């Protein structure tokens, strides 16, 4: 059986994002086209469907790294902030984007809350990611 660990992350995330577009519970908010993804970025993402890609990436990270909360996930999407003449400093990404994505994924049934640990992936989320991994695996080896 093919799992998330057997395929390249980038291709899996793109395939999962396509599947998330079909789900009515995953909808980008109206502010998504203007928002920066963190203090370390200068502009908003250039992709039109970046919200689905970020949601798929969050789903994969929670699958691989176990139960996670918004703060730890925001650190995963952080970077280095330019502070002018001072040395660059590591900063977290946007917790609001992570939180909204996790709320939508939970409403879709892909995540379940865990007390004091954040959210973990549900059996439906595991199935979604494993099916996408199988499709990517078949595409690569065809």
For residue 142, the model assigns a pLDDT of 77
* Residues 7/135, Cβ–Cβ less than 8 Å: no
The dihedral sign for the CA sequence 96, 100, 103, 109: negative
Nearest C-alpha neighbor of 78 from the set 93, 61, 58: 93
pLDDT tens for residues 57-87? 999 999 999 899 999 999 999 999 999 999 9
**Number of structural domains in the chain:** 1
Read off the pLDDT band of 27 (50, 70, 90). very high
Q: What is the CATH number of the domain that holds 70?
A: 1.10.10.10
Range of the domain at 61: 4-140
């Amino acid at each position: 059986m093919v799992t998330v660990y057997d395929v390249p992350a980038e291709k899996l995330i793109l395939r999962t994002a396509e599947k998330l577009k079909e789900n009515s519970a995953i909808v980008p908010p109206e502010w998504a086209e203007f928002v920066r993804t963190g203090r370390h970025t200068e502009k908003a993402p250039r992709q039109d469907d970046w919200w689905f890609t970020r949601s798929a990436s969050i789903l994969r990270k929670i699958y691989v790294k176990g139960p996670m909360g918004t703060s730890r996930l925001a650190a995963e999407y952080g970077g280095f902030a330019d502070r002018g003449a001072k040395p660059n400093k590591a900063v977290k990404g946007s917790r609001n984007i992570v939180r909204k994505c996790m709320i939508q994924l939970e409403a879709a049934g892909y995540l379940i809350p865990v007390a004091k640990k954040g959210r973990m992936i549900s059996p439906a989320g595991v199935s979604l990611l494993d099916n996408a991994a199988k499709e990517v695996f078949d595409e690569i080896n065809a």
